[in-house]
Chains A and B, each alone.
Chain A
Amino acid sequence: MESNKKYWKGLEELKATPEFVENNKGEFAESLPIEELLSEAGLKTPTPRRDFLKAMGFGLGAVTLAACQKAPVHKSIPYLIKPEEVTPGVANYYVSSYKGYGVLVKTREGRPIKLEGNPACILGEGRLDAVAQASILDLYDFSKLKDPMLDGKEVSWNNIDSFVKGELNKIQAGGKKIRIVSSTVNSPSTNKVIADFVAKYPNARHIQVDAVSYTGILKANEASFGKAVLPHYHFDRADVIVSFGADFLGTWISPLEFNRQYVVNRSLASLKNKKMSRHIQFEAGMSLTGTNADVRIALKPSEEGIALLNLYAALGGGGSAPKLSNAKAATALSLVAKELLAAKGRALVVSGSNDIATQSIVNSINTLLGSYGTTIDIVNPSYQYLGNDADFIGLVAEMGRGEVDALFFLDSNPAYSSVASKQFTEGLSKVKLKVSFADRLDETAALCNVVAPVPHYLETWGDANAVAGYYTIVQPTINPVHNTRQAEQSLLLWSDNAIKNYYQYVKNNWETTILTGAGLTWKQLLQTGVVNAGAVTGAPVAGASAPTAVNAGNAGQSILAAAAALAKGGESATELTIYESVAIRDGSFANNAWLQELPDPVSKVTWDNYVALNPKYADKLGVTEFDLVKVEADNYSVVLPVLYQPGQAIGTASIAVGYGRTKAGKAGDEVGKNAYPFLKLENGSLQKAVSVKITPAGGKRELAQTQTHHSYEGRNIIRETTFNKYVQDPHSGSGSHGAEHPTYDLWPEHKQIGHSWVMAIDLNACTGCGACVVACNVENNIPVVGRDEVIRRREMHWIRIDRYYSFQDEKGTSLTEEDQIGELAESDNTLEDVTVVNQPMLCQHCDHAPCETVCPVIATMHSSDGLNHMAYNRCVGTRYCANNCPYKVRRFNWFNYWNDSRFDNYMNNEFTQLVLNPDVTTRSRGVMEKCTMCIQRIQGGKLQAKIEKRPLRDLEIQTACQQTCPTNAIIFGDRFDPNSAVSKALGNERTYYVLQELNVQPGIGYQTKVRNTVEAQA
Chain B
Amino acid sequence: MRSISLFFRSVAKSLFLVSSLSISIQAYSQSSSDANATAVQSTSGSAIAEPAAATAAAGDAGAGGAIFKQKCTSCHAIDRQVVGPALKGVTERRDNAWLIKWIKNSQALIAAGDPVAVKLFNEYNKAVMTPFPELSDEDINNILAYVDSEANKPAEAAGAAAGTEGAAAGAEKEGVSDWILGGLVVLVLVALFIILVLNRVIKTLERLLLQKQGVEVEEVESESTAIRFRRLAKNKKFVGFAVLLLVIFLGSLGWKTMWNTGIHQGYQPEQPIKYSHQLHAGTLKIDCQYCHFGAYKSKNASIPSLNVCMNCHNYVTASDKYNGETSPEITKIYKALDYDPQSKTYGDDPKPIQWIRIHNLPDLAYFNHSQHVKVAGIKCQECHGPIQTMAEVYQYAPLTMKWCINCHKTRDVNYKGNAYYDKIIAVHNQLKKGAQVTPAVLGGIECGKCHY
Instruction: Give A contacts to B, CB under 8 Å.
Output: 67, 71, 73-82, 87-90, 751, 753-754, 859, 861, 863-865, 867, 869-874, 919-921, 932, 935-936, 939, 942-943, 945-947, 949-952, 976
Contact = CB atoms under 8 A, between A and B. Distances in A.
Contact of B302 (A75, A87, A874): A87
B207 interface: no
Nearest to B293: A87
B449 interface: yes
Given A77-B352, A753-B428, A872-B451, A88 B298 contact: yes
Contacts of A863: 443, 446-449
A935 B352 contact: no
A81 B307 contact: yes
B394 to A, nearest CB: 13
B452 interface: yes
A932 B375 CA distance: 24
Given A935-B452, A949-B419, A82 B305 contact: yes
B261 A76 contact: no
A951 B446 contact: no
Given A74-B356, A77-B352, A947-B374, A89 B448 contact: no
Contacts of B304: 78, 82
13 contacts: A74-B356, A76-B357, A79-B305, A88-B298, A753-B427, A754-B442, A864-B446, A932-B452, A943-B375, A946-B418, A947-B370, A949-B420, A976-B423
B448 A869 contact: yes
B354 A75 contact: yes
B298 A945 contact: no
Interface stretch (B116-124, B194-202, B235-243, B361-369): B361-369
Contacts of B446: 861, 863-864, 869
Nearest to B362: A873
B269 A73 contact: yes
A943 B368 contact: yes
B337 A871 contact: no
Given A76-B357, A754-B424, A71 B299 contact: no
Interface of B: 258, 261-262, 264, 267, 269, 293-294, 297-300, 302-308, 336-337, 350, 352-357, 360, 363-364, 366, 368, 370-371, 374-375, 417-424, 427-428, 431, 442-443, 446-449, 451-452
A87 B369 CA distance: 13
A916 to B, nearest CB: 11
A952 B421 CA distance: 10
A73 B424 contact: no
A966 B355 CA distance: 46
Contacts of A77: 352-355
Given A73-B269, A82-B308, 17 more contacts: A77-B353, A78-B352, A78-B355, A80-B306, A80-B336, A82-B307, A87-B297, A89-B298, A869-B451, A932-B452, A935-B448, A939-B449, A942-B420, A943-B368, A949-B417, A949-B420, A951-B419
Closest 10 CB pairs of A and B: A869-B448, A89-B298, A864-B443, A82-B305, A89-B300, A871-B447, A79-B305, A74-B357, A78-B303, A89-B299
B366 A919 contact: yes
Contact of A73 (B337, B356, B448, B449): B356
Q: Which of B420, B423, B443 has the most CB of A within 10 A?
A: B420
A855 to B, nearest CB: 11
A951 B422 contact: yes
Q: Main SS of the interface on chain A? A: loop
Contacts of B299: 89
Contacts of B452: 920-921, 932, 935-936, 939
Contacts of B307: 80-82
B360 A71 contact: yes
A921 B419 contact: no
From A78, A921, A945, residue with most partner B Cβ within 10 Å: A78
Contact of B363 (A754, A921, A935): A921
A893 to B, nearest CB: 14
A79 B261 CA distance: 33
Report which residue of A67, A80, A754, A871 has the largest number of chain B beta carbons within 10 angstroms of its beta carbon.
A80
A81 B305 contact: yes
A871 B371 CA distance: 21
Contacts of B420: 942, 945-946, 949-952
Contacts of B262: 67, 71
A976 B423 CA distance: 10
B337 A867 contact: no
A111 to B, nearest CB: 15
B294 A949 contact: no
A71 B308 CA distance: 30
A80 B366 contact: no
Contacts of A865: 443
A473 B69 CA distance: 52
Contacts of B431: 751, 753
Given A78-B355, A87-B293, A71 B449 contact: no
Nearest to B440: A864
A946 B375 contact: yes
B45 to A, nearest CB: 42
Given A946-B418, A949-B420, A873 B364 contact: yes
Given A71-B264, A935-B448, A88 B443 contact: no
B419 A950 contact: yes
Contacts of A976: 423
A942 B418 CA distance: 12
Contacts of A754: 424, 427, 442-443
A951 B443 contact: no
Contact of A67 (B261, B363, B418): B261
A550 to B, nearest CB: 67
Contacts of A946: 371, 375, 418, 420-421
